[in-house]
Amino acid sequence: MEIVKAGLEHLEEICAIEESSFTDPWSRGTLSQCIQGKFAAVLVALEDGDVLGHAIFNVMADEAELYNIAVRRESRGRGVGTALLQGTMRLARQAGAERMFLEVRKSNAAAREMYRKAGFAVCGQRRNYYEAPREDAMIMDIQLGERA
């Protein structure tokens, strides 16, 4: 498996993973603009040319925000999400970020555990942040330092 910057040739697979992973997926247009670097950066995990998952993040000055990580259902539990997370942390640090934030559904125990294992800690909560279904978000952050 390799982690690389996404290109437009990956858009169809990213859209399919997004649709199957989230109740409120990002639109094709927004994903396309992110891949082109207009709003964010997108990484993909590739294996034999197939996209196993993707991560979307952005760096603003000395802070980064991880918008989402999504992994193809049949590839979950293989470390794909962790590899994407490590890739975002590495690139954010290289871009000058000292701290990374994210929001995660309170009920998403698997993602919260992955972030915790990577060194993220809960630093807040956003009430009723998510829709479909309505749910609180846990805000997590990490000091990137030498970890990334």
pLDDT 10s digits, 110-136: 999 999 999 999 999 999 999 888 999
The reported pLDDT for the residue numbered 146 is: 60
Quick one: which H or E segment has residue 143? strand 135-143
**Which domains occur in the chain, in start order?**
2-143 (3.40.630.30)
Amino acid at position 78, single letter? R
The percent of residues above 70 in pLDDT, for the chain, comes to 98
The reported pLDDT for the residue numbered 148 is: 43
Output the six-digit token pair for 28: 């094709």
pLDDT in tens, 79-102: 999 999 999 999 999 999 999 999
- Name the packing angle between helices 109-117 and 80-94 (round to 10°): 50
Please give the positions annotated as active site: 103, 115
